[in-house]
């Protein structure tokens, strides 16, 4: 009997969203994504703590920020032993509004992978989809360093990423859903906002249709799912990055999967082209209360976890 997970893979590239590389083989994803929160969670587990200690011990005297990148890349290298495709490794969220610093950090991450024998084609550098982050990605992509623009909540972010030639974007389905559900409070109707009507699903669908209609090569990878219904409503999306918990649910199910997103349908749809410069991008983002709040919240949360990771590394004797 075909599992729902295997059926989904007929329409969409499945990506595992975890730093727990020991779980990956069970789901056979093509790629894997990580973020500061996932790595922080992993290094506090007994099975993974030695990786952090090893990164510190083998790089004595290195600055703290470099040790952090060593830890992130160490996890990435282990992940790449399991998945046949790419791993996403994130730039420190505290650099989200500094284009030059983001570029420099991304280059160092790629250098560390290449020193370990991993070609840059197997790595996506994750960068927050701020205006500064998008401009950093534009520069990096020109040099063959591929990027995954994350914390993406607004249509204007997606349009700007496409114009910048970004390799891949990660619209956050679940966090969009969270905001609208919280905003509606007691008026929220779960059934009426499920499936294709889920606000996070609608956001990704709009972006997918826009990209396919205008032949934009940027890959769309739905992320941050709260339930399998959101995942199945986006069957046909270029990629979907899914937590181990939800991958397990899909693997345990035999429900059929119907393709929901289709490039041919997108090409024939009525879609209006839009363009953004810095001023119009910032205004459009400002006008989207959900995106403004969730972007800021996401950067704060990832920055807080980056600080916690710093402290764990310092506790290993790093200076």
Q: Is 126 a catalytic residue?
A: yes
pLDDT of residue 272: 96
Q: CB of 158 within 8 A of CB of 126?
A: no
Residue 51 has a pLDDT of: 87
What is the DSSP code (8-state) at residue 92? P
Domain spanning 4-315, CATH class? alpha beta
Report d(CA 143, CA 218) in Å as an integer. 16
**Closest CA relative to residue 310, chosen from 111, 29, 68:** 68
| 9, 41, 81, 126: the active-site residue | 126
On whether the CB atoms of residues 250 and 4 are closer than 8 A, the answer is yes
> In the chain, where are the structural domains located?
4-315
Residue appearing with tokens 């059934």:
191
Nearest to 317 by CA among 73, 57, 39: 57
The set of long-range contacts for 308-311, using a CB threshold of 8 Å and a minimum separation of 24, is 308/40, 309/36, 309/39, 309/40, 309/43, 309/68, 309/71, 310/64, 310/68
Return the pLDDT at 210: 98
Q: Is 133 exposed, middle or buried (0-12, 13-18, 19+ CB in 10 A)?
A: buried
**Do the Cβ atoms of 67 and 56 come closer than 8 Å?**
yes
Low-confidence ranges of the chain (pLDDT < 50): none
The full DSSP string for 40-91 is: HHHHTSTTTHHHHHHHHHTSTT--HHHHHHHHHHHHHHHHHTT-SS-EEEEP
How far is residue 158 from each of residues 34, 72, 124, 143, 177, measured CA to CA in Å?
A: 20, 26, 17, 21, 18
Per-residue pLDDT tens digits for 282-307: 999 999 999 999 999 999 999 999 99
pLDDT at 318: 57
CA dihedral 307, 31, 78, 306 (to 10 degrees): 0
Give the Cα separation of 263 and 145 in Å (integer): 26
Cβ-based neighbours of 120, under 8 Å, separated by 6 or more: 110, 113, 114, 144, 145, 146
């Amino acid at each position: 009997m075909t599992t729902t997970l295997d059926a989904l893979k007929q329409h969409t590239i499945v990506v595992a969203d975890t730093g727990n590389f020991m779980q990956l083989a069970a789901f056979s994803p093509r790629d894997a994504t990580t973020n500061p929160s996932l790595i922080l969670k992993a290094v506090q587990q007994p099975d993974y703590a030695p990786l952090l200690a090893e990164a510190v011990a083998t790089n004595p005297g290195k600055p703290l920020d470099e040790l952090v990148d060593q830890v992130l890349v160490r996890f990435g290298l282990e992940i790449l032993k399991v998945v046949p495709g790419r791993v996403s490794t994130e730039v420190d969220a505290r650099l989200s509004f500094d284009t030059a610093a983001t570029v420099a950090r991304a280059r160092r991450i790629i250098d560390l992978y290449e020193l370990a024998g991993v070609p840059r084609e197997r790595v996506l550098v994750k960068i927050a989809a701020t205006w500064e982050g998008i401009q950093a990605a534009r520069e990096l992509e020109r040099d063959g360093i591929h990027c995954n623009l994350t914390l993406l909540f607004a249509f204007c972010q997606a349009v700007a990423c496409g114009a910048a030639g970004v390799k891949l974007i990660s619209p956050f389905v679940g966090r969009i859903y969270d905001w609208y559900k919280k905003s509606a409070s007691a008026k929220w109707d779960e059934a009426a906002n499920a499936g294709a009507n889920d606000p996070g699903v609608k956001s990704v669908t709009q972006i997918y249709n826009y990209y396919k209609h205008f032949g934009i090569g940027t890959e769309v990878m739905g992320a941050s799912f709260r339930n399998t219904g959101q995942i199945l409503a986006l069957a046909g999306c270029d990629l979907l990055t899914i937590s181990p918990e939800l991958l397990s649910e899909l693997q345990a199910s035999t429900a059929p999967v119907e393709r929901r997103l289709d490039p041919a349908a997108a090409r024939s749809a009525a879609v209006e082209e839009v363009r953004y410069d810095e001023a119009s991008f910032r205004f459009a983002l400002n006008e989207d209360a959900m995106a403004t709040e969730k972007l800021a919240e996401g950067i704060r949360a990832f920055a807080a976890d980056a600080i916690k990771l710093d402290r764990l590394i310092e506790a290993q004797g790093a200076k």
